[in-house]
Amino acid sequence: MSGGLLDALPAEERALLRRQRHPDWVQPMLATLSERRFSDPDWLFERKLDGVRGIAFRHRRKVRLLSRNRLDMGRYSSIVDALADQPAEDFVVDGEVVAFRGRQSGFSVLQQLGRGGRVRIAFHVFDLLHLDGHDLTRLPTRRRKALLREALRFDDPIRYLHHRREHGERYHREACEKGWEGVIAKRGSAPYTGGRSTDWLKLKCVLDQEFVIGGVTDPRGSRTGLGAILVGYHEDGELVYAGKVGTGFNQELLRELRRKLDRLERATPPFTRGIEHLPGKDVHWVRPVLVAQVGFAEWTRDGRLRHPRFQGLRTDKDPREVVRERPRAAR
């Protein structure tokens, strides 16, 4: 074991460990959107990062970095190399790949990687799921984070995601004042369970989420590429139209995105609800397989986006899993 970390656990926590061969995959735990702002001594509060989720697997000298839908993220070679250089040789960690250009960070910066200019990346690690032949997911959150801090060496580009205890309301105010995405609240006593859970809550400062692209309009005037993308989300087996997104693009992105969408063209709209709001002309329908990250001011009463802005394409999200995020309270 890594320095006897697991041997040193209290007996009641050692009883929660399970012997496990190095796993091929661990289903990531997902946070539920909440409008509740609260402080509680049993909860931990982390900064909500604006990047790409990654599950990292290290077994002997082999490292795999996978997205939440199991796509290979080996292109982030500096992260893979740093994980391969860790003293521990059998672990699985959960984290987020975040890009920086100067002091600016976020998903839109990550989209610029490889397009020129200096973009730095870091892997912010916040959970430890497997260590030295043991499944740790039944341990409480606060214990997994304590073990994580000791099990890995944190030098750039590997960073430990710090948290605050109890004072969630104060931390959320600070996050919003600093222009962050928001805060993730995690129940300190909870195990790690795959899928969406109210043991992890998203407390956002700004509204944004993923949407499926179902159409594109032609450009007007001096604009090139496209006028707007038409986006929606899945609900009860239908694709619901949510509105047009026409800002957030530069000229290169307009042309690149149009080329991608032209290859997906189809004769009929993929949307089956909200179709009374669809534009009636200069529209090209596409197969709903591309996922866009979109920021917006609010939802209108008729279920459309107000002041939406394109932030980038997401290759780490399955379009079939894109739904409207609706706030829920913790249990």
Each residue's pLDDT tens digit, 131-143: 999 999 999 999 9
CA atoms within 13 A on the CB side of 118: 2
- Pair 149, 24: CB distance under 8 Å: no
Q: What are phi and psi of 296, to 5 degrees?
A: -155, 165
Phi-psi group of 64: left, alpha or beta (phi > 0 → left; psi -120 to 50 → alpha; rest → beta): beta
Q: Can you tell me the mean pLDDT for 270-288? A: 95
Residue 330 pLDDT grade (very low, low, confident, very high; cuts 50, 70, 90): very low
| DSSP state letters, 232-264 | EEEETTEEEEEEEE--S--HHHHHHHHHHHHTT
Residue 117's φ and ψ, nearest 5 degrees, are 80, 165
User: 71 φ, ψ to 5°?
Assistant: -80, 145
What distance in Å separates the CA atoms of residue 294 and residue 158, rounded to the nearest whole number?
28
What band does 84 get if pLDDT is binned at 50, 70 and 90? very high
Q: What is the pLDDT of residues 162-215, one digit of tens each?
A: 999 999 999 999 999 988 889 999 999 999 999 999 999 999 998 899 999 999
The reported pLDDT for the residue numbered 4 is 85
Which pLDDT score, from 0 to 100, does residue 2 have? 58
**Which pTM value belongs to this model?**
0.83
- pLDDT for position 280: 85
| Mean confidence (pLDDT) of the chain | 93
Q: Which pLDDT value is given to residue 216?
A: 97
**Percent of the chain residues past pLDDT 90, beyond the cut:** 82
pLDDT band at 102 (very low <50, low <70, confident <90, very high): low
Check 48, 186, 204, 317 and give the catalytic one: 48
SS3 306: strand
Condensed to tens digits (0 to 9), the pLDDT of residues 66-83 reads 999 999 999 999 999 999
Q: What is the dihedral of CA 34, 40, 44, 49, to 10 degrees?
A: 30
CB 295 within 8 A of CB 316: no
Position 1 scores a pLDDT of 44
Q: How far is Cα 243 from Cα 257, in angstroms, rounded to an integer? A: 18
pLDDT value, residue 103: 61
Domains of the chain listed by start with CATH number: 28-204 (3.30.470.30), 207-321 (2.40.50.140)
Q: Is the pLDDT of residue 281 over 50?
A: yes
Residue identified by tokens 């000791």 is 150
Q: What is the residue whose two structure tokens read 């982030």?
A: 76
Give the residues across from 32 on adjacent strands: 201
Q: Residue 107 above 90 pLDDT?
A: no
Cα dist from 205 to 28, 45, 277, 300, whole Å: 23, 14, 28, 18
Q: Indicate if 48 belongs to the active site.
A: yes
Each residue of 4-43: pLDDT tens digit? 899 999 999 999 999 999 999 999 999 999 999 999 999 9
Inform me whether the pLDDT recorded for 288 exceeds 50: yes
